[in-house]
Structure 1
Amino acid sequence: MIDPTTSLPPGPLECGPAAAAQAAALVAGPPGALYRVLLVEQESEAALVAARRVLAAFLPDGAGLDRDRVLAELADARAAIATAAARLRAASAETLAAVLRERAPLALIEGCWLDAVSQPATQPAVIVNRLLAERLEILGHGVAEHTLAQRRRRLLDDHGVLLPGLTSPDFLAGARARPLTAVTGAFYLALSRLPATFLPEVVGAHCAFRALGTDTGLSGMNGPGYDPAPLLSEYLALTERAPTGPADRARLLAAIQLVVGLERAHVAMLAELAGWHESLSLDDRMALIVARHAPYAGRQHDNVQISGVALRDLLAGPDFDAAALVHRLRSASQLRPSPSGGCRFTRAIRFGGPMFGIFDEVEARTITRWASAVASGDEPRATLAPCTAGDDEAAAWRRALVAAAPGDVVVAEPAVLDERRFLYRLVNVERFPGVLAAARTRVERVLAQAEALFELGAAGRYTDATWFDYSPVALRRRMDTIYWTKLVEPFRPLTDIPPRDEVINNQKRFALGNLVDGACTHRIGATGRDRPGDAALFAIYADEMGRGDVAKNHITLIHQALASMDIQLPHLRAREFLTQTELPDLGYPYATYQLSLALFPDSHYEEILGYHLGLEMFGLGELRLHEVQKLRHHRMDTAYESVHLSIDNVSAGHSRQAADLIVDHLDHVGRAAGPAAVEPAWRRVWRGYASFALFVEPRLARRLLAGRGAP
């Protein structure tokens, strides 16, 4: 049952005209805007199309590359970057802070290319599970404080580099990111949007980036660093058995070589930036501070004059010159030394002064040093030659982005889809990003229908979606009531086992839903998201996928169970699945809804939490116990059914964890947005639970939704 897939079948990317136009504008625009869209808009058709264009601009075809030579280049680059990083660490504290600040947009997205590598289109491939295990490690094995991004944040804080959140509109401005930083980050983020389509490139980029260890070197952390050999060896061994093996190896090597070049160029840019920073005079540093804060100077400065000229006039207009303003400040009364020490300007930025908190610690120290130098009679030296580090390389990449025209992008109006084609496109969303609009419509329609269960949900056989006012105690009480009264207490061992064919037909009813097991949470915890429960929720998903062990992967287990019934299916992503005849059509709406909901982990986060609670609890009790009994009687595989009875338990397993995540999330909402925000957030959580109940309570759903349309 081992899946040796090393790449997915090629195919065109089909998108709508509006998304194609938006993507073209994005790649032709500022690199910072492209970086931000690729990071933030993971639910956007245009972002997926833009990602395809970015990858077309960056990725060579890899033809003729020699494995040993490319791996030797990787080893040489690793040594060179370690040496360069050591030199940068030896710079002054202010220069090192400037370097770390510039590197932050790349350091904080390390591993982004693994965000969605584990998905219905790729599971349960061996290499995907290896990458899943590495992503789980990057996410701190489910502990938010241990994630790589949080550890990097603490390092930045230690160096006085305080940045907005990664998804904040002000993040790149706060990082003072140069064009080369933004355009390099855009490549890594583009790879994160299409990891199934570019699986060989993901393996190569991951191994190269982590092996080079640029950010580990800049942090000064000791240790052997990341060894790419095991993952590379495993992937290369798999390609030896794959019909696409030669092409996959070429793509892998091209990605390694590209990342080596990108990281070398970025480290060279950091070195140039450090040299420029070290050459700055105190006047230059002061001019940079003035330039950074000038756009925010408001009307509170209307009455301030600098050497007889209104400050608002000096700051206004397109001809504003920060160096000239600093030169004028030197003779201003605000810099005149006072008998008690310091001057009016430095007193103003201290605690209790009118400008306290305007400048960060590094800026405040620079201002104090500069004022002291002025008082001691230092000659002015404000030349402020502009920093151009990395600009030539960035300009070359921008030209490549504008020129990129991938031949596999097809512009077409959205198709009318039946359930089978809808499922096919949802699984292959990287090739059919236009399906996002239909998926959102489906999600909104089902959620609206599900609220009908708020009144009569108690009549459910396995669920109770009746509305109740939220409190942590009330949620856990409802969960315990469902568990005991609907899932456990009704259980009685079967005394009459149905015939084999009847058992198999019943398994077929649920098989399609089982084949998307865990899909509702596979996109949770994407780079830049810092919700308190993201890492833990992704860790639950990783459990479902065996935490990297293919033998424990639930998709492997369901195929194993089906094989014991002599049922062989094409992969969900395969076109052949469109015409499979083993599984009944009645299972498609449940699968397409879950796959649709999974595509909106930001805008429907609360609904996913509620749906996930229902999903985890459904793995317990009478229904599952009866299936185990029937399968065992007919000597069919029970592993898939049995594992849910243990892993989903309500004492400490996934069901309890799902409830705890809801409690933690709503507590966070209350503290961040106030108590009034909890009730609407809870309503969204509970309609997510109700949407799960809608599908597993068909009799109740038909009765409640008569005349409203099927889900």
Structure 2
Amino acid sequence: MWRETYRRCVDPELFLDATTIRTLIAEVGSVDLQAAPPDLAATLEAARSWSDEQRSAYRGLIASDAGGSVDALAHSVLRQSAPLASTLGAWLQGMSAPGVFEDETHLRVLALFADDIGVGSPRSSRFDEFKVLAKQRGRPELAVDATELAAEREIRDHMFALPATLFAITRRSDEFAPVIVGVDVVMRAVGMLPCWSALRSEGHHEWARLDLARPTGATDISTPWDVSRAVAEKFCAAGADVRRQVEIGAAWMLSALRAWNELVLDAAGAALHPQRAMEQLIQERAREGAVYHQNFQMGGTSLSELLEQAKTDPAPLLKELAATRMVKPGNADRSSLVNGLIGPKGPMFRVFSTDDVEVISKWINSLDDAEVQPSAAPAVAAPQVPDLKTFEIASATEDGLVPSDVREAYFVLQGRALAPSTRRFAVRYVKRWLAKAKLSVGRTERSLPEEWTPAGLRPWLLDMHDKHGAEFEAGKSNAMPSRAEVIDSTLQLAPLTLIDGSWLQGFTDVGLATTRFGFPLFETYWDELGNGDISINHPKIYRDVLREMDIELAPTGSREFAYDDRFRDESFARPVYWLCLGKLPHAFLPEILGMNLAMELSGVGGSYRTARRFLKHYGFSTHFVDLHNTIDNVSTGHSAWAADAIDTHMRTLSQLSNSTELAPEWKRVRVGYESLAPTTSKIADLIGFRFRTKHRKPRSPDRSLFHHTPVGAS
């Protein structure tokens, strides 16, 4: 089923092989991947024209209704469009990764995504606005997260096809980044989907946040359409092959959107025409009903046989049903089908939902004594579900690499996708790191409290801040390190600092970035990368300091950087831990929450001020440490957000479990906190991990390992 594919693709840790994703793409959009795609400008113009035409089609449908069934149409549109609403902007969620942290074009992509999800506030994404509107229009069952939406049986299975494919593509941005850019620019050109625009035009609600061409106000982006188009142009300028992929993505998205819209338009039309609505209901329910009723005769055959036929053609069954004594044409209240068979005391009570009963009643009321003719409306072809056997997590050809040393691990993990073998490596690395961190819990005064209480972590946070300040004052008289030592320390921290925030990259997934505990973590990530502005991008600022020290480094995502012999091996151990965590946001959620607090609090009031003293003494810029000492503050900064995220997570769990069940989760948070800097002396002991030195797999070229080619890097 498409809904099952959708449910799986919502998982931020899913890995799908490229062949499977191409199979999905081929099913929901008709674009010849071998032929030259249309010019991007032509596709965008076609998208705008199509959008205008379809708005008129929906408005014409509404205007043609003389029976006052606009509410039924609105409910149908909202229900069937909900899965696609869950993807608004989400196709960009996998585009940010450490290897492109300093790439200006990718920073603009991140800015688009941040605007789409309403960075800075929980439940403020475009999809969240759709949920609010669904509630206001009497469809509260649609105001749920994507994982729950898949369980809404009133949504037709094929309405999950395009959303499932969009989510699938986000899981492999290493392979499909230009395609994603093409998808985005077409959706911005369309703006608000025609089906929503028609409802909005009736004056029901102001639905501006569903318009992808308009900003949400969460960032400084004023025209998302212009930003998206500029990003597409940057990608196209990267080369003929990249341009072709962008154009394919745009053409495919328009094709898929047209097919999706036909299905919504068909459902909307059915909502206004009782006969068509009844046909669709019977067709959707025929499979389950055919299992029963072998002994119930109707029109010279069994009801089961009629139901089997109704899977593809419901008209014969409806004709026979209308002729039975159970139906009183024109009067549903007197029809035993409604007030007897499927009523509260009938043998088929609860077989049909309240909405189903309304469809049946309207159909009966529309009948007269004349023979009922089947609807002449042509059937709309739904996308076929590919054989689920093809939906293995990954094929053998994309099993992934197992790094042979810590430097190769750093390089391989720069991207976003985590193939199965690489994932197993990442899980082992994290678990062994955490095993050592567990030994540090409670051994120092800096450990988190033994128990979490509803009072939260703010009092403890202030105590720790005071302690940092006291330690700084006490250390003012300590000897000044030499200039060479300051430079070496700054250099050895580069593999860590140039991926600042990487442990939170999993929180760019829309399902986490908009939650009450996840939104401050995404905002932290957004801050670390400069809020889309390269001039205040933290990795870029750190490189500026290195250049003052006459140190020029290769791009962080390159093999050259990972194998730069100026770095010591141990300088990559903790960064690799961060990179692993960032790709496993569900598997190690409590540990990430704890580690994030430790990291954001680590330098505030103490070591940042110490580092500032050293840098200033030798004439180096203190911008990097000054910036962190302010934005990581314990009142309104990253440290406070980190503590609040933990408290929100723990309070939510406390409402669902007792204190005994809560304790293991808090223990994991405490271990995560210690994992930033466990009290062990040797890095080799810390990771407890011996990389294989024999039978090493051949190294793959950069392209197969890297997230995707940087575009417009500074």
> Are the aligned partners of 2:189 and 2:225 in contact in 1 as well (CA < 8 Å)?
no
Aligned residue number for residue 443 of structure 2: 456
Residue 191 (1) aligns with residue 178 (2): no
Secondary structure, counterpart of 2:473 in structure 1: coil
CA gap 1:409/1:209 in 2 versus in 1, 3 angstroms? farther
Match of residue 259, structure 1, among 253, 258, 261 = 253
Mapped partners of 1:59, 1:691: distance in 2 = 50
**Mapping of 1:193-208 within 5 angstroms?**
193-208=171-186
2:457 partner SS: helix
**TM-superposed deviation, 1:476:** 3.0
SS across alignment from 1:199: helix
Contact 2:570 2:683 in 1 (8 A): no
Partner of 1:142: helix, strand, or coil? coil
Q: Against the structure 1 CA distance between its residues 236 and 108, is the aligned structure 2 distance closer, same or farther, given a 3 Å change threshold?
A: closer
- Sort the Cα spacing of 1:177 and 1:319 in 2 relative to 1 into closer, same or farther, 3 A: closer
Indicate which of 433, 436, 458 corresponds to 1:446.
433
Distance 2:664 2:287 in 1: 38
1:72 aligns with 2:56: no
Contact residue 432 and residue 689 of structure 2 kept, 8 A: no
Q: Secondary structure at the match of 1:602?
A: coil
> Cα deviation per residue 1:186-245 (whole Å; 9 max; x = unaligned)?
4322331122443333322212112212435255257684455532563366469x6x34
Look up the SS of the partner of 1:256 in the other structure.
helix
Q: Could you say which residue in structure 1 is the equivalent of 2:242?
A: 248
Say whether the 8 Å CA contact 2:93–2:113 is kept in structure 1: yes
Question: Residue 84 of structure 2 corresponds to which residue in structure 1?
Answer: 106
Counterparts of 1:367-382 in structure 2, within 5 Å, are 367-369=360-362, 381=372
Partner of 2:358: 365
1:583 to 539, 563, 567: 567
2:493 counterpart SS class: helix
Pick the aligned partner of 2:510 from 500, 516, 527.
527
1:658 is aligned to 2:642: yes
Is 2:386 the partner of 1:390?
no
Note closer, same or farther for the CA distance 1:428–1:296 as it changes in structure 2 (3 Å cut). same
Alignment of 1:215-226 (within 5 A): 215=193, 216-220=196-200, 221=206, 225-226=213-214
1:307, CA displacement in angstroms? 11
Unaligned runs of 5+ in 1: 1-29
Query: Which range moved further: 46-55 or 260-269?
Result: 46-55
- Pick closer, same or farther for the CA change 1:231–1:378 going to 2, 3 Å: same
Query: Using the alignment, how far apart are the partners of 1:173 and 1:251 within structure 2?
Result: 36
**How many pairs align?**
651
Return the alpha-carbon distance in structure 2 between the equivalents of residues 687 and 442 of structure 1: 15
Q: 1:129 to 1:567 in 2, by over 3 A?
A: same
Q: Which amino acid aligns with 2:226?
A: P
Question: Which residue is 1:144 aligned to?
Answer: 122
State the partner residue of 2:407: 420
Per mean C-alpha deviation after superposition, the further-off stretch among 660-669 and 30-39 is 30-39
Is this contact kept in 2: 1:113–1:193, CA < 8 A? no
Report the Cα distance in structure 2 between the residues aligned to 1:602 and 1:145, rounded to whole angstroms.
19
The answer to whether the 8 Å contact 1:36/1:167 transfers is yes
For 2:19 and 2:461, the matched residues in 1 are separated by 42
Residue 556 of structure 2 is aligned to residue 572 of structure 1 = yes
Cα distance in 2 between the residues matched to 1:640 and 1:353: 73
Look up the match of 1:44: 14
Q: Displacement, 1:260?
A: 2.2
TM-score, with structure 2 as normaliser: 0.78
SS of 1:481's equivalent in the other structure is: helix
**Aligned pair in 2 of structure 1 residues 51, 292: CA closer, same or farther (>3 Å)?**
closer
Q: Report percent identity of matched pairs.
A: 22
Q: Establish whether residue 126 from structure 1 lines up as the match of residue 104 from structure 2.
A: yes
Cα distance in 2 between the residues matched to 1:635 and 1:250? 49
Instruction: Show CA shifts across 1:572-617 (max 9, x none).
Output: 2212123212322212110011110111112222221111111110
Q: Is the 8 A contact 1:631 1:637 kept in 2?
A: yes
Aligned-residue offset at 1:533: 2.0
Taking the aligned partners of 1:511 and 1:185, their CA distance within structure 2 comes to: 39
CA spacing shift, 1:74–1:319, aligned 2, 3 Å: closer
For 1:692 and 1:562, how far apart are their aligned partners in 2? 24
User: 1:559 maps to what in 2?
Assistant: 543
The separation in 1 between residues aligned to 2:345 and 2:617, in whole angstroms, is 79
Deviation at 1:558, TM superposition (A): 1.5
Which residue in the other structure is 2:262 paired with? 268
Instruction: Give distance in 2, aligned partners of 1:260 and 1:512.
Output: 42
User: Is it true that 1:620 corresponds to 2:612 in the alignment?
Assistant: no
Is 2:487 aligned against 1:504? yes
2:77 alignment partner AA: V
Deviation for aligned residue 1:329: 9.3
Task: Tell me the distance in 2 between the aligned counterparts of 1:522 and 1:333.
Answer: 59
Q: CA RMSD in A?
A: 4.5
For the residues of structure 2 that align with 1:424 and 1:266, how far apart are their CA atoms? Answer: 40
Q: Distance in 1 between matches of 2:337 and 2:253?
A: 51
Separation in 1, partners of 2:380, 2:307? 24
Q: SS where residue 570 of structure 1 aligns?
A: coil
1:457-496 to structure 2, matched below 5 A, reads: 457-458=444-445, 463-465=446-448, 468-473=450-455, 475-486=457-468, 488-492=470-474, 494-495=476-477, 496=479
Identify if the C-alpha distance between structure 1 residues 575 and 361 changes in structure 2 by more than 3 Å, giving closer, same or farther: same
